[in-house]
Amino acid sequence: MSGHQVTLSEEFIAQQRKRLEALRRELLGGKEDSLANERTAQEQHRDEAEEIEDEAQGIAQREVSRALRAVNDRRIRDIQRALQKIADGTYGLSDASGQPIPKARLEATPEAVLTVEEQRSRESG
């Protein structure tokens, strides 16, 4: 176990594992529901004559759905990575720098694999 792991108790790490697994189930379930709802809506309205406004609303809704799926896909990857880090004994250390991620950040965002500054940098491209 790394020196950093001593600051994160086994109890805290076990609690985080449970939270991460629950988040993963929730996001994966939501992803399936979202895709199913989209397909159902397309099937229900396939034969209806659409007005231009309806079409525009549909396009906007699909764009929002795609953006949400992209965010959820990123979160699911981070959750998977955090679970792997727990298994490896490196949970709480940044993937980018190896620096400790503050416990408060891990409590707020259990899937955090980067420090706040590194996360901002990743999001800004």
pLDDT tens digits for the chain (125 residues)? 444 444 899 999 999 999 999 999 998 886 555 555 555 555 655 555 456 677 778 788 888 888 888 888 999 999 999 999 999 999 999 999 999 999 999 999 999 999 999 999 988 97
pLDDT value at residue 113: 96
pTM of the model: 0.70
Which residues span the domain enclosing 73?
Answer: 4-123
State the CATH number of the domain containing residue 12. 1.20.120.910
Q: Please give the pLDDT value at position 44.
A: 57
Cα R_g (the chain), whole angstroms: 19
**pLDDT for 32:** 53
| Dihedral angle sign, alpha carbons of residues 63, 69, 75, 81 | negative
| The total number of structural domains that make up the chain | 1
